[in-house]
Amino acid sequence: MTARNLLVELRVEELPPKALKRLGEAFGHGLLASLKAQGLATGTSVLTTFATPRRLAAHVSHVLLAAPDKPVSHKLMPATVALDASGKPTPALIKKLATLGVDVAAEADVLSRLARRADGKAEALFLDAVQAGAPLAAGLQKALDETLARLPIPKVMQYQLADGWQSVSFVRPAHGIVALHGAEVVPVSALGLTAGRQTQGHRFEAAMDPVVLQDADHYARQLDEQGGVIAGFEARRAELLRQLHAAAAREGLKPIEDDALLDEVTALVEKPNVLTCRFEREYLAVPPECLILTMKANQKYFPLLDAESRLTERFLVVSNIRPADASRVVQGNERVVRPRLADAKFFFDQDRKRTLASRVPGLARVVYHGKLGTQGERVERVRQIARHIGELLGGERGGLALADLADEAATLAKADLLTDMVGEFPELQGIMGAYYARHDGHREAIAEAIEDHYKPRFAGDTLPRGEVGLALALADKLETLAGLFGIGQLPTGDKDPFGLRRHALGVIRMLIERDLPLAVPQLVALAFQAFPATHGQAQAEVQHFIVERLVGALREQGYSAQEVDAVVALRPERWGELPRRLAAVRAFAAMPESASLAAANKRVGNILRKSDGGDDAAAVQRPVDAALLLEPAERELHAALDAVVPRAERAFAAGDLAGSLRELAALKAPVDAFFDKVMVNAEDPALRRNRLALLAMLHHVMNRVADLSRLVT
């Protein structure tokens, strides 16, 4: 079979920039998967995707002109149904063969082509045949139809075709298709268009129009040289990044790092041209977060920072044209950004005319949730929770109790929602509150807490810097969890409109990474106490939800399900210990004695559970009576425990959790001997209870760090 490289391009009007990268990848991978499934592409085929604002394309190497024929076996029906008593085909078999294109009357040898094979307990008839491989034109048509139908289009639009009668639906109106197998056009069609070999380059920078493609392999080169377009998304992104750093270096500055902005601008241009602009220095008096956000979000500009990462008055714009004199482009962008910066300065100046404290009463007029009241009511709940957490953390900060500072920060934390700046840029909530708190003369700890109480906002985000911020951030997230769980607004599947999973993960990270002496059940109880008695009591559900997120987060860090289960099963109050417990369990699992000890621990746990609630229940609470240790094996185990327990407890108390588990290695031999030679459920009640007490002593020392029985698979 002839194998050549295949090129498919779909040319459209400007695609949504935030979806372009995903659309390009889906287009290429969809075509390749379908071609492979039909036998037209092989395991050696290599996919290269292209995506520009006006095209989606894919290059697939080693694509066959026709798929190879392949043997197929059609199961017909049970032999007893297919053939009558004399061995002749029944009407049912004749009808079945007809559906497969076999005429029994015309093909006398058809019965000889049927095979009897076992099918379960009975025999069935099978027709063995050779299925002709699909030709490329038909296979590519199928691949194209399937791929276009499955593209992750954010919003479909409907438009009329050139004939003025037919309508089609797609992400944007399509204007051309290219399909080349080597240098030959593949006759396929889609969206009312028929494939050819012509495409179009840049609207203003193309050297020729149309661009007539030589073959599949010259696509990217011809578009670049003749069409003025860098077709590959990653190639265009790399060129854009190179130009950004080169332009910044000429100014002795560096561009702001923002992968999402870089991807979006890459999707807006076909061949980037980076230019340097500037604005008036007076605007630098506005908080840099405001200026950066308005330049990035509204204008897609790249602000420039100095060596100390401070914002400067210079910024980079990415043009889609390359005029001989770029001054008009530069001046136009400077003129456009100036009103945006002026608005930001106006908002900042106006907001500072009122204090944050004066805005707090206005929160009572802002609805938070139909079933949870206003933002003012929410602030009161957060204040109560934050004060309690401050009391639990204890101590003074700068002469004031942490509880008082947390209360003050909670009172002011949501006030910036009523400012003009946050009204224009909701992303700045908390950040602007910190600026206004400093302007009002509040302590730095209060300003930091206001800014940090939303943290962590996303995976990998930083945590609040101080204890005031930690108390407030915990209170804010716990209030949200308790409030929404209480009214039944739980996440479902992949839907989590209120970000409850993110809130739970934030609580987990603060407890673990800051090693806070706070227990989750205690915190959840505090959160629900802040609500009226009529509020739904869902403490158990919230605790379970947080623990589920904890398990998932620990497993994402590389710990096995057994390791996490063993540690979490003990429900340790202080989650800051979890990383050390997990590391200790992993070290224990690597010991040669671990499997035997874990299995023994599981057996001990089962024995003790069976005694719980019966006449022997109190035995596990009693000390071991050495006089009742009759068997040598139980005396040896008792002696080993007397030696190991103090060492293990000292290591545990000193925080050497791995060392505490290492001490258990000395118990393997006596534990094995005990279960080989000693009958725990002795008929003598005194012996039985003493042996249960001995096992309880063993169980306690083995499960100080983790439930080791969970390591047994």
Answer whether residue 337 shows pLDDT above 60.
yes
Token pair for 151: 């593209």
Token pair for 215: 């073959």
Position 117 scores a pLDDT of: 80
Provide mean pLDDT across the span 116-132: 75
d(Cα 518, Cα 462) in Å, to the nearest integer?
20
d(Cα 189, Cα 178) in Å, to the nearest integer?
9
Position 539 scores a pLDDT of: 94
Position 398 scores a pLDDT of: 55
With H, G, I as helix, E, B as strand and everything else as coil, classify residue 376.
helix
Q: Is the peptide bond before 287 cis (omega within 30 degrees of 0)?
A: no
Specify if 554 maps to a domain: no
DSSP per-residue letters across 32-66? HHHHHHTTSB-TT--EEEEEETTEEEEEEEEEESB
C-alpha closest to that of 528 among 518, 538, 519, 520:
538
User: Are 110 and 208 contained in the same domain?
Assistant: no
Q: Which amino acid is at 396?
A: E
d(Cα 430, Cα 413) in Å, to the nearest integer?
7
Provide mean pLDDT across the span 3-32: 95
d(Cα 128, Cα 126) in Å, to the nearest integer?
6
With H, G, I as helix, E, B as strand and everything else as coil, classify residue 298.
helix
Gyration radius from the chain CA atoms:
36
Specify if 552 maps to a domain: no
With H, G, I as helix, E, B as strand and everything else as coil, classify residue 646.
helix
Specify if 512 maps to a domain: yes
User: Are 56 and 160 contained in the same domain?
Assistant: yes
| More reliable by pLDDT, 81 or 232 | 232
- In percent, the amount of the chain with pLDDT more than 90 equals 75
User: Are 46 and 108 contained in the same domain?
Assistant: no
Provide mean pLDDT across the span 232-243: 97
d(Cα 542, Cα 359) in Å, to the nearest integer?
32
Mean pLDDT over each residue of the chain, to the nearest integer: 91
Answer whether residue 202 shows pLDDT above 80.
yes
Provide mean pLDDT across the span 326-335: 95
Angle (nearest 5°) at CA 136 between 133 and 137 = 120
DSSP per-residue letters across 114-127? EEEEEETTEEEEEE
Domains: count for the chain:
5
Position 509 scores a pLDDT of: 96
Give 193's strand partners. 190
d(Cα 141, Cα 187) in Å, to the nearest integer?
8
C-alpha closest to that of 697 among 651, 644, 647, 656:
644
| More reliable by pLDDT, 280 or 77 | 280
| pLDDT range class, residue 111, cuts 50, 70, 90 | low
| pLDDT range class, residue 612, cuts 50, 70, 90 | low
Asked if 614 contacts 654 with a C-beta cutoff of 8 angstroms, the reply is: no
d(Cα 481, Cα 499) in Å, to the nearest integer?
9
Specify if 558 maps to a domain: no
Specify if 570 maps to a domain: no
C-alpha closest to that of 608 among 712, 684, 703:
703
User: Are 640 and 687 contained in the same domain?
Assistant: yes
| pLDDT range class, residue 688, cuts 50, 70, 90 | confident
User: Are 451 and 593 contained in the same domain?
Assistant: no
Give 196's strand partners. 178
Answer whether residue 615 shows pLDDT above 80.
no
Angle (nearest 5°) at CA 30 between 28 and 35 = 95
d(Cα 599, Cα 606) in Å, to the nearest integer?
11
Provide mean pLDDT across the span 95-124: 72
Answer whether residue 87 shows pLDDT above 90.
no
How buried is 47 (Cβ within 10 angstroms: 0-12 exposed, 13-18 middle, 19+ buried)? Answer: middle
Residue given tokens 């030709």 in the structure block:
135
Domain boundary among 351, 382, 410: 351
Q: Which amino acid is at 182?
A: G
User: Are 591 and 696 contained in the same domain?
Assistant: yes
* Mean pLDDT lowest among 2-6, 83-87, 190-194, 379-383: 83-87
Position 464 scores a pLDDT of: 97
| pLDDT range class, residue 681, cuts 50, 70, 90 | confident
Domain boundary among 483, 518, 538: 538
**Alpha-carbon separation of residue 669 from 277, 323, 597, 608, 676 (angstroms):** 77, 84, 10, 21, 11
Report the b/e string of 646-667 with b at 16+ CB within 10 A: eebeebbeeebbbbbbbbbebb
Helix (H) or strand (E) holding 467: helix 467-486
Greatest CA span in the chain, whole angstroms?
Answer: 106
d(Cα 688, Cα 233) in Å, to the nearest integer?
74
DSSP 458: S
Give 83's strand partners. 89
Specify if 41 maps to a domain: yes
Answer whether residue 362 shows pLDDT above 90.
yes
d(Cα 452, Cα 406) in Å, to the nearest integer?
12
With H, G, I as helix, E, B as strand and everything else as coil, classify residue 103.
coil
Answer whether residue 247 shows pLDDT above 60.
yes
Position 119 scores a pLDDT of: 75
Q: Are strands 3-12 and 174-181 parallel, antiparallel or unpaired?
A: antiparallel
Answer whether residue 231 shows pLDDT above 80.
yes
Asked if 235 contacts 54 with a C-beta cutoff of 8 angstroms, the reply is: no
d(Cα 306, Cα 284) in Å, to the nearest integer?
13
Domain boundary among 320, 351, 382: 351
d(Cα 710, Cα 241) in Å, to the nearest integer?
50
The values of phi and psi at residue 179, to 5°, are: -140, 110
| pLDDT range class, residue 511, cuts 50, 70, 90 | very high
Position 108 scores a pLDDT of: 58
How buried is 173 (Cβ within 10 angstroms: 0-12 exposed, 13-18 middle, 19+ buried)? Answer: middle
Position 70 scores a pLDDT of: 76
User: Are 50 and 76 contained in the same domain?
Assistant: no
Residue given tokens 């399509």 in the structure block:
174
d(Cα 527, Cα 487) in Å, to the nearest integer?
14
Helix (H) or strand (E) holding 633: helix 632-653
User: Are 192 and 275 contained in the same domain?
Assistant: no
Asked if 374 contacts 368 with a C-beta cutoff of 8 angstroms, the reply is: yes
C-alpha closest to that of 8 among 150, 133, 188, 156:
188
| pLDDT range class, residue 640, cuts 50, 70, 90 | very high
Token pair for 419: 């400012």
- Give me the CATH number covering residue 583: 1.10.730.10
User: Are 198 and 277 contained in the same domain?
Assistant: no
Provide mean pLDDT across the span 597-623: 75
- Give me the CATH number covering residue 491: 1.10.3210
Asked if 479 contacts 530 with a C-beta cutoff of 8 angstroms, the reply is: yes
* Mean pLDDT lowest among 97-101, 139-143, 185-189, 492-496: 97-101
Report the b/e string of 577-594 with b at 16+ CB within 10 A: bbbbbbebbeebbeeebb
Position 1 scores a pLDDT of: 56
C-alpha closest to that of 514 among 569, 568, 557, 455:
455
Position 93 scores a pLDDT of: 77
d(Cα 291, Cα 311) in Å, to the nearest integer?
9
C-alpha closest to that of 369 among 535, 483, 482:
483
User: Are 220 and 162 contained in the same domain?
Assistant: yes
Position 48 scores a pLDDT of: 96
Tens of pLDDT, residue by residue over 256-279, are: 999 999 999 999 999 999 999 999
Residue given tokens 């709940």 in the structure block:
381
User: Are 593 and 616 contained in the same domain?
Assistant: yes
Specify if 551 maps to a domain: no
pTM over 0.95: no
User: Are 100 and 144 contained in the same domain?
Assistant: no
Specify if 29 maps to a domain: yes
In terms of residue numbers, what domain contains 700? 579-711
C-alpha closest to that of 261 among 326, 320, 317:
317
Side-chain half-sphere of 229: how many Cα atoms within 13 Å?
30
Position 427 scores a pLDDT of: 94
Question: Roughly what angle, to the nearest 10 degrees, separates helices 259-266 and 233-250?
Answer: 120
